[in-house]
Amino acid sequence: MQRAFYFLFFIPFLACQPSAQKTEEKQSVDSTQTTISRTDSSVIDLVEKKATLGKSETIAITNDPVFHKDKTFEAIPLVNVLKQIPAYASLKPEETQVVFECEDGYNPSMPLTKVINSKAYLAIRDKDAPAGEDWTTLQKGSETKKIAPFYICYTDVKGEDPSYKWPYNLVRISLTSASKETAALFPKNDDSVVKGYGLFKTHCLTCHALNGVGGTLGPELNKPKSVTEYWKSEDLKAFIANPASYRDRVKMPNLGLKKKEIEEIVGYLSYMAKQ
Ligand code: HEC
């Protein structure tokens, strides 16, 4: 039994290795106080911490919105897990956003106050799983969805309420501080650009403003026109990758970002163009 447990623990851990590096985002220029970098102090790697996440209990969900039936899980109160994030104690809940990071890149988020005021749980095991396994997979049409290693659910919230997120295949949770000002920049209507927002906040907001919020060393990037409206997308990405390749004596540094990160930032800027 013991050995089987460690075996199950190590497989997902190894599978997560390459993406674990994503949390170590470079902190280049960081001077404004409104910018909270995504450092390790605001993230919990659930797979790595699996053995010490806390005491679990059995919970029942009526009409689970992911499985479309009543379910029972072994689960840990989510607040107890969030409290293990070092930054938790120093953040104001009303100015904090919880970002759920799934293995497939899906990053839904919700306000921390909503999590605290609901009976939110981190499910660690599906009670309906076959003997010896923690989870069942989910068949959605022709697609097989992996629920492991973790799933977020609520015992007091209706599945139809879109303001509550029920992410599965969850591997990490991070807290993003959104002061009243930066809250205006958070992509409330599009989960797919949350990562781009985080990257923009870490790497760009120190020098650039969007809608007047942010640094002033570089030009405003969204008002009255977004840079995505008057730069060709390919040039914009190439400029961000290496500003000096476009302008001599340019004051914007080469931030050493990866191609994927730049794409996520530009995706976020395109979203903001409509805000
Ligand atoms: C250290 C400050 C600094 C940082 C950090 C920075 N920039 Fe810049 N950026 C500038 C400055 C200064 C300019 C003006 C360029 C010049 O000197 O011609 C600029 C110019 C730009 C321009 C061109 C605007 C235009 O229309 O001419 C874009 C687009 C841009 N930055 C995007 C970004 C993005 C995206 C990030 C984050 C990945 C970023 N910048 C990070 C300082 C910075």
The confidence score (pLDDT) of residue 189 equals: 83
User: Contact 270/226 with Cβ under 8 angstroms?
Assistant: yes
Residue 136 falls inside a structural domain: yes
Nearest residue (CA) to ligand 1, atom 7: 252
The CA distance from 67 to 87, in Å, is 33
The confidence score (pLDDT) of residue 39 equals: 54
Domain boundary (131, 156, 179) is at: 179
- Using DSSP's 3-state secondary structure scheme, residue 5 falls into helix
Does 172 share its domain with 40?
Answer: yes
Domain boundary (179, 206, 231) is at: 179
| Residue 205, ligand 1, Cβ within 6 A | no
Distance 145 CA to ligand 1 centre (A): 40
Domain boundary (156, 179, 202) is at: 179
Nearest residue (CA) to ligand 1, atom 2: 207
Name the helix (H) or strand (E) containing 197. Answer: helix 194-203
Does 203 share its domain with 154?
Answer: no
Does 121 share its domain with 143?
Answer: yes
Beta bridge partners of 170: 102
Residue 19 falls inside a structural domain: no
The CA distance from 71 to 263, in Å, is 39
Please list, in sequence order, all residues whose beta carbon lies within 8 angstroms of the beta carbon of residue 102, skipping any fewer than 6 positions away: 167, 168, 169, 170, 171
The CA distance from 20 to 11, in Å, is 14
Q: Please name which of 134, 125, 124, 122 lies closest in space to residue 8, comparing C-alpha atoms.
A: 134
Tokens 């942010």 locate to 214
Beta bridge partners of 44: 173
Which one-letter DSSP state was computed for residue 132? T
The CA distance from 39 to 109, in Å, is 18
The confidence score (pLDDT) of residue 5 equals: 45
The CA distance from 218 to 209, in Å, is 8
Does 57 share its domain with 175?
Answer: yes
Which one-letter DSSP state was computed for residue 158? -
Beta bridge partners of 72: 60
The CA distance from 42 to 98, in Å, is 10
| Residue 26, ligand 1, Cβ within 6 A | no
The structure tokens listed for 191 are: 């989960």
Does 174 share its domain with 188?
Answer: no
Range of the domain at 71: 36-179
Does 221 share its domain with 195?
Answer: yes
Does 147 share its domain with 195?
Answer: no
Residue 18 falls inside a structural domain: no
Pairing relation of β-strands 143-145 and 138-140? antiparallel
| Residue 256, ligand 1, Cβ within 6 A | no
pLDDT in tens, the chain (275 residues): 444 444 444 444 333 333 333 333 333 333 333 333 445 788 999 999 999 999 999 999 999 999 999 999 999 999 999 999 999 999 899 889 898 988 876 777 888 999 999 999 999 999 999 999 999 988 888 888 899 999 999 999 999 887 899 999 999 999 987 776 777 898 988 888 998 998 998 889 878 999 988 888 899 999 999 999 999 999 999 999 999 999 998 989 899 999 999 999 999 999 999 99
* Total number of domains constituting the chain: 2
Does 145 share its domain with 65?
Answer: yes
Distance 218 CA to ligand 1 centre (A): 5
Q: Which of 32, 245, 252, 257 to mutate to test the pocket of ligand 1 (most atoms within 8 A of CB)?
A: 252
Query: Can you tell me which atom of ligand 1 is nearest the CA of 203?
Result: 37
The confidence score (pLDDT) of residue 206 equals: 79
Q: Which of 30, 207, 216, 268 to mutate to test the pocket of ligand 1 (most atoms within 8 A of CB)?
A: 207
Does 43 share its domain with 151?
Answer: yes
The structure tokens listed for 194 are: 């949350």
Give the count of beta carbons closer than 10 Å to the beta carbon of residue 16. 17
Give the C-alpha distances (Å, rounded to integers) separating 109 from 106, 156, 221: 10, 18, 25
Residue 158 falls inside a structural domain: yes
Angle between helices 259-273 and 194-203 (to 10 degrees): 100
The CA distance from 223 to 45, in Å, is 37
